Amino acid sequence: MLKNIKIKTTEQVEEERREFAFENSPFYEKYYKSDKLIVLNIWATWCKPCIEEMPALNRLKNHFSDNKDIIFLSLSTDEDSIKINSFLDSDKFNFEDISIENFPYRKYILNHLKGKKTKSDPAFYIRIESSEIPITYVIKDQKINYSHTGKIDSAKLYNQINSLLK
């Protein structure tokens, strides 16, 4: 059974794409364009592996807390901002969460991170509600240097971060 199917004209899609383009997002402006190393975790409140990996990610963030050249961010795929805020209030995850400020841009941020950057890619226009999470990206100089889908191997992520900070 399919629910909540929305069909838009090409013009409507193009208007949305222009308005909420990756380059217009707060994520792009504040973080992606910076010269800092970014560790971005894609998660959801309902995702058990996401919740299970949070303590390891928190420890990793704490390990690098004195390093001003690295930023740890999280972006939820949840559609309900109240659930996101409620979860964040529980202090289970101490990454800076950028979900709310980037809410209308998420589709285009995720498309960009997954390499779906152009109109020639049919997936660029399709919003699929399910995706594999958690996903952790390590970004430096506007380039994804490392990504991992599923529960993170914190030792491997630590090594990736260390190699990029040198």
Residue 117: the pLDDT is 60
C-alpha distances in Å from residue 105, one per residue of 85, 132, 149, 154: 18, 19, 21, 28
- Determine the Cα–Cα distance for residues 161 and 47; give it in Å rounded to an integer: 25
CATH number at residue 44: 3.40.30.10
Greatest Cα pair distance in the chain:
51
Q: Please give the pLDDT value at position 91.
A: 85
Quick one: pLDDT at residue 132?
84
The per-residue pLDDT for range 32-63, each reduced to its tens digit, is: 999 999 999 999 999 999 999 999 999 999 99
Q: Check residue 13 and give its pLDDT.
A: 66
Specify the pLDDT at position 47: 94
Q: How many CB atoms lie within 10 A of CB 161?
A: 21
Q: Which domain holds residue 77?
A: 10-165
Report yes or no on 3 lying in a domain.
no
pLDDT for 1: 47
pLDDT of residue 58: 95
What's the pLDDT at 6? 67
- Average pLDDT over all residues of the chain: 87
Report which of residues 115 and 59 the model is more confident about: 59
91: left (phi over 0), alpha (psi -120 to 50) or beta: left
Residue 98 lies in a domain: yes
**Tokens 């979860």 belong to which residue?**
87
State how many domains the chain has: 1
User: For residue 130, is pLDDT > 80?
Assistant: no
